[in-house]
Amino acid sequence: MRSLQLLFRASPATLLLVLCLHLGTNKAQENTRRIIIQNFEIPTIANRDEEVTAMLQVQTELKECMVAKAYLISDVPVEGAFNYKYTRCLCEDYPNTYYWDFHTNRTVRIAAVVDITRELGICPNDAAVTPINKNRFYTIKTLVVA
């Protein structure tokens, strides 16, 4: 009889513990996938009139595909291929890599920007999604011109 009483006393505490663990586990698993992962690489130092290559690799951990538009912005006007905008379908298994070759004569801060947009005809079967919270992602780097 005494062991039966211990079982009933422990039961509400055990149930509460199991409920808390279950709720905590569900919430923790909810936000583990990142929408956009950016790897932006440019040289830190360049010479005047030297051609510089900027590389941006974009990937996602979402299972759904989305339309991603990638481009560069700077605090100083830069001419040429620097102004190219790329629009591609971004899926979990297929990261995108973008390259820009440009010349600059002065130090410049460059932002690599990725916008998630709603455009038809980019992803197969037009099955692209757009995030609810945020649709613009960016990384800023500085290129020092000597």
| Topology (CATH) of 37-145 | Immunoglobulin-like (2.60.40)
Residues of the chain with pLDDT under 50: none
What is the DSSP track for 22-33?
A: HHHHHHHHHT--
Q: What is the pTM of this model?
A: 0.76
d(CA 3, CA 7): 6
The residue whose two tokens read 């960016």 is 138
What pLDDT does 30 receive? 58
Q: Where would I find the beta strands (DSSP E) of the chain? A: 37-41, 45-46, 51-59, 66-74, 86-90, 96-103, 108-117, 136-145
Where along the chain do its domains lie? 1-32, 37-145
Between the alpha carbon of residue 117 and those of residues 67, 74, 89, 128, 129, the distances in Å are: 6, 21, 10, 9, 9
Say which amino acid occupies 7: L
What pLDDT does 31 receive? 59
Span 77-109, pLDDT tens digits: 998 889 999 999 999 989 999 999 999 999 999
Between the alpha carbon of residue 83 and those of residues 18, 52, 97, the distances in Å are: 56, 14, 16
Q: Tokens representing 133?
A: 């919270």
What pLDDT does 23 receive? 59
What pLDDT does 33 receive? 84
**Which of these, 136, 146, 81, 71, lies nearest to 110 by C-alpha position?**
71
